[in-house]
Amino acid sequence: MKKLTFSIVITLFLTFIFTSYSHAANYELAILSILEERYVQLKEENQRQREEILKLYNQLSPKAAEKIPVLLYHHLLKEEEMKAYGWENNDSVISVEAFSEQMKYLYDNGYYTATLDELWDFLNENKTLPEKTVVITFDDGYLSNAVYAYPIMKEYGFKGVIFMRGGATIYPQKPFDPKGLQSISLEENYKYEDVFEYGCHTYDLHRKDIKDVALLVSSSKEEILEDLSKNKKLFNTDYIAYPFGKYNDSTLEYLKELGYKMGFTIKRGYVSKNSDKLQLPRFIIDPTINMDKFKKILQ
Ligand SMILES: [Zn+2]
């Protein structure tokens, strides 16, 4: 008898545990779906606001954009960090102070920072952009973009693009350390989505072979297709920036095959409606670009 009572008690207890567990699970699912719905709503609201802002910019602008400068940044460090850790003579690093001054100039002078979708619409004559339009891009996906560029750009309501090396993003995010280079991780990149969108900088072809030829050029068709298709899916993007600015006719073929729509080089120049969409020029903003040169690019 005792044994029976015991098993009844145990059964009741287990039933209680299971039902409350599944209640908890259901509750969590309900919360998740509410949050997801809210996320979609906010995104739509944001998009509507963005369209309103663009409309206003266009109304205030005396002319429509004919040529658009696309700026290219890499890594950022504070001046003192550059000095302390020997980054001063690296032309891929610019100081946070210089970056901040450049962003302030764009803001004070009423520049509109276009997204890549907007640039695509501009190229296809589906969207008018104001004369003072600029596209801000970063290559490689360094954590310094999130630590230093993100808060400055957010303050000004700017948008930018980070072209990501997918293979560098799959590890847990390390804390920022100015002595070395850390990448923005796949797990954390959603935190910066109100400022940054993510493009492709290859998954694992941001390297050169023993003959110093970029892997995006020297690898086999299969390898390139696999790499580019993997990164396209990872970041849900139709846009790529070529590592080291290197590509050839085959690369362009593969990109078309995979549905990539725009490709960014490191050739200096403005993007206009006549530009080849898979060979768009950019202006590298390195430490030699002082404010005078910066303003000239924007003219
Ligand atoms: Zn790169």
- How far is the centre of ligand 1, averaged over its atoms, from the C-alpha of 29 (Å)? 40
What is the mean pLDDT of the segment spanning 228-242? 97
Q: What angle do CA 237, 142, 114 make, to 5 degrees?
A: 45
User: With pLDDT > 90 as the criterion, what percentage of the chain qualifies?
Assistant: 83
Query: What burial letters (b/e) apply to 220-248, b meaning 16+ CB within 10 Å?
Result: eeeebeebbbbbbebbebbbbbbbbbbbe
- In tens, the pLDDT along 192-226 reads 999 999 999 999 999 999 999 999 999 999 999 99
Q: How far apart are the first and last CA of the chain?
A: 93
- How far is the centre of ligand 1, averaged over its atoms, from the C-alpha of 269 (Å)? 18
- Which residue intervals of the chain are DSSP H helices? 2-60, 79-84, 96-108, 116-123, 143-144, 150-155, 215-218, 221-235, 249-258, 291-298
Cα–Cα distance for residue pair 51/198, rounded to 1 Å:
20
- How far is the centre of ligand 1, averaged over its atoms, from the C-alpha of 72 (Å)? 10
Q: How confident is the model at residue 297 (pLDDT cuts 50, 70, 90)?
A: very high
Q: How confident is the model at residue 9 (pLDDT cuts 50, 70, 90)?
A: confident
Q: How confident is the model at residue 7 (pLDDT cuts 50, 70, 90)?
A: confident
Cα–Cα distance for residue pair 138/22, rounded to 1 Å:
45
Q: Is the pLDDT of residue 12 over 90?
A: no
Lowest mean pLDDT among 22-26, 122-126, 215-219, 260-264: 22-26
- How far is the centre of ligand 1, averaged over its atoms, from the C-alpha of 212 (Å)? 15
Token digits of residue 160 = 């930018």
- How far is the centre of ligand 1, averaged over its atoms, from the C-alpha of 281 (Å)? 15
What residues form DSSP beta bridges with 264?
241, 280
- How far is the centre of ligand 1, averaged over its atoms, from the C-alpha of 152 (Å)? 22
- In tens, the pLDDT along 135-164 reads 999 999 999 999 999 999 999 999 999 999
- How far is the centre of ligand 1, averaged over its atoms, from the C-alpha of 111 (Å)? 26
- In tens, the pLDDT along 82-101 reads 999 999 889 899 999 999 99
Token digits of residue 207 = 């390297």
Q: Tell me whether strands 160-164 and 196-200 are parallel, antiparallel or unpaired.
A: parallel
- How far is the centre of ligand 1, averaged over its atoms, from the C-alpha of 239 (Å)? 14
What is the mean pLDDT of the segment spanning 231-246? 97
Within 10 Å of residue 140's Cβ, how many Cβ atoms? Answer: 22
Q: How confident is the model at residue 16 (pLDDT cuts 50, 70, 90)?
A: low
Cα–Cα distance for residue pair 107/163, rounded to 1 Å:
23
- How far is the centre of ligand 1, averaged over its atoms, from the C-alpha of 244 (Å)? 6
Q: Is the pLDDT of residue 232 over 80?
A: yes
- How far is the centre of ligand 1, averaged over its atoms, from the C-alpha of 15 (Å)? 57
What pLDDT is stored for residue 13 in this prediction? Answer: 72
Strand, helix or coil at 174? Answer: coil
- How far is the centre of ligand 1, averaged over its atoms, from the C-alpha of 263 (Å)? 13
- How far is the centre of ligand 1, averaged over its atoms, from the C-alpha of 207 (Å)? 9
What is the mean pLDDT of the segment spanning 32-52? 90
- How far is the centre of ligand 1, averaged over its atoms, from the C-alpha of 206 (Å)? 6
User: How high does pLDDT run on average in the chain?
Assistant: 94
Name which of 183, 201, 179, 200 is nearest 192 in CA terms: 183
- In tens, the pLDDT along 61-89 reads 999 999 999 999 999 999 999 999 999 88
Strand, helix or coil at 287? Answer: coil
Q: Is the pLDDT of residue 23 over 80?
A: no
Q: The tokens 């899916």 sit on which residue?
A: 233
- How far is the centre of ligand 1, averaged over its atoms, from the C-alpha of 92 (Å)? 10
What is the mean pLDDT of the segment spanning 30-59? 91
- Beta carbons within 8 Å of 216's beta carbon, 6+ residues apart: 202, 205, 224, 242, 243, 246, 247, 251
What is the mean pLDDT of the segment spanning 32-44? 89
What pLDDT is stored for residue 48 in this prediction? Answer: 93
Q: How confident is the model at residue 21 (pLDDT cuts 50, 70, 90)?
A: low
Cα–Cα distance for residue pair 259/200, rounded to 1 Å:
13
- How far is the centre of ligand 1, averaged over its atoms, from the C-alpha of 193 (Å)? 20
Task: Give the start-end residues of each E strand in 141-184.
Answer: 160-164
What is the mean pLDDT of the segment spanning 6-28? 73
- In tens, the pLDDT along 261-288 reads 999 999 999 999 999 999 999 999 999 9
